[in-house]
Structure 1
Amino acid sequence: MALRFEELDFQPTPMGEISLRRRYDPAARQDVYEVRLGDEYLMSSLFTAAERALATLALDVLDAGPDTGPDAGLRVLVGGLGLGYTAHAALADPRVAALDVVEYSAPVLDWHRRELLPDTAGLATDPRCRLVQDDFFRRMGAAPQDRYDAILLDIDHTPDHVLHPSHAAFYTADGLRNAAEHLTPDGVFALWSDDPPEPVFEATLDEVFAERASHPVRFGNPITGGESANTVYVARGRAAR
């Protein structure tokens, strides 16, 4: 019989205590993996449609990368590893040749290296995938070392509800322009958000990028018996200045 609750890991971090928990959800009739940072709920394996769509919606607008040479295939950067669903979905696209995943929290990287998460097992050993401990936002503010065909970001709850005040500057026009410098000329920036499309943030994206679409991603919610939704923003190219 499945355990009703098990704490798989609990570790201190500079942003607070982070924990990985597994519990049996009778409504969903399955084991659910959840992450909490202090008292704040971060993510759950019960709701992964939008995390996967973050990868698929962004990659769907890209052509394949070069067929030959050192830059063959698509190069993708994921900001925020979490439970690994975005990275896992990106690696399911055969055009992806290299995937860098930047994660601030050492415990989160450790969970994947120990393969505590069965749905996304294998990320740490996939030869195309490189797990990097770093501050994504610091990296985006620095001079580019590499350029990517896609940058997929899922760290904060929304552009207005950030996990740390230092993240807020990223969601301004200047912050997004810095991020765009890390993209190839036709590269794509995509962002997961827990809220419906926000007109103010859409306007900010339009300042920076030539194309922008906001995709509500709806999914069944076995807890409420109804439907929930997240948003995936997808932006591409550079706006004329």
Structure 2
Amino acid sequence: MTPRELVAVAEVPGGQPLRLVRRGGDHMILLDRNELMSSRMSGSEALLGTMTIDRLRSDAPRVLIGGYGMGFTLRAVLGRVGAAARVTVAELVPEIIDWARGPMATMTGDCLDDPRVTVRIGDVAQWIGAPGASWDAIMLDVDNGPDGVVRDANNGLYSASGLDRARRALAPGGVLAVWSAGSDAAFTRRLKATGFQVEEAKVRARENGKGPIHTIWFARRAG
């Protein structure tokens, strides 16, 4: 078996360190012993991007992506939108972007330098709640689901007040999409209680339609 090689370590504000590990041609980002993401499991993160864009009414959407990860969602979005779209990527951990431009550059390609893309370093909550914010889509993949595994502060995104803030930051008909490694009935109820029209999709982790089953919530603001 090919051994794992530690490539780099990044500190997470208010959380435990992340480790970038390589095994042969595959990369993994680990939190303690938990695999948060892997280049072998890109399917559901890509579907977060494509399935959200397919649900929008705008031909030139304003999109906010919370968490760059390995860039699967961003690249999927860019492949689905036109030249007039504007995509903001909010990444809390600056080293994640450094890894994208460094050890994972062949996988990243030129997506971070695409003229439609703006990268912001910091908590995605800052841009969700920015004065005058009006997004056609907000996509959240900052944790392993709607709870603060990576850091406790992420819980605020999925609380009733956090969801209400996201709803108000969406344009009428806009969509909040949340990726999760598993289902969460309580989170579904919170979305509905906030006033969203909720669709819960089950998707496979791998691009070939195999692997673990992940969950994506699509919560639409009325209008």
What TM-score range do you get, normalising by the shorter chain? 0.7 to 0.9
Deviation at 1:40, TM superposition (A): 3.7
* Equivalent-residue separation in structure 1 for 2:10 and 2:154 (angstroms): 22
1:204 partnered with 2:190: yes
- The residue matched to 2:85 in structure 1 has which SS? strand
> Which of 112, 129, 133 is residue 124 of structure 1 equivalent to?
112
What pairs up with 1:161-180 in 2 under 5 angstroms? 162-180=149-167
User: Residue by residue, what CA displacement relative to the aligned partner does 1:114-158 show, whole Å, maximum 9, x if unpaired?
Assistant: 362423321221111111101113443x44343111001001112
Over 6 Å off, 4+ runs: none
> Which of 41, 48, 63 is residue 35 of structure 2 equivalent to?
41
Gap change, CA 1:10 and 1:165, over 3 Å in 2:
closer
**Which has the bigger relative contact order, CA under 8 A and spacing at least 6?**
2
1:55 partnered with 2:40: no
Q: Is the 8 A contact 2:6 2:19 kept in 1?
A: yes
What pairs up with 1:1-241 in 2 under 5 angstroms? 4-14=3-13, 15-24=15-24, 31-65=25-59, 73-95=60-82, 97-114=85-102, 116-140=104-128, 142-160=129-147, 162-196=149-183, 198-219=184-205, 227-238=211-222
Bigger proportion of residues as strand? 1
Q: Is the 8 A contact 1:208 1:238 kept in 2?
A: no
* Equivalent-residue separation in structure 1 for 2:98 and 2:58 (angstroms): 32
Scaled by the length of structure 1, the TM-score of the pair is 0.81
**For structure 2, which runs of at least 5 residues remain unmatched after alignment?**
none
Deviation at 1:194, TM superposition (A): 0.4
* Equivalent-residue separation in structure 2 for 1:201 and 1:218 (angstroms): 20
Deviation at 1:32, TM superposition (A): 1.3
* Equivalent-residue separation in structure 2 for 1:219 and 1:82 (angstroms): 15
- RMSD over aligned Cα, in angstroms? 2.4
- The residue matched to 2:104 in structure 1 has which SS? coil
How many residue pairs match? The answer is 219
Gap change, CA 1:139 and 1:76, over 3 Å in 2:
closer
Match for 2:159: what amino acid? T
Larger gyration radius, structure 1 or structure 2: 1
* Equivalent-residue separation in structure 2 for 1:132 and 1:199 (angstroms): 32
**For structure 1, which runs of at least 5 residues remain unmatched after alignment?**
25-30, 66-72
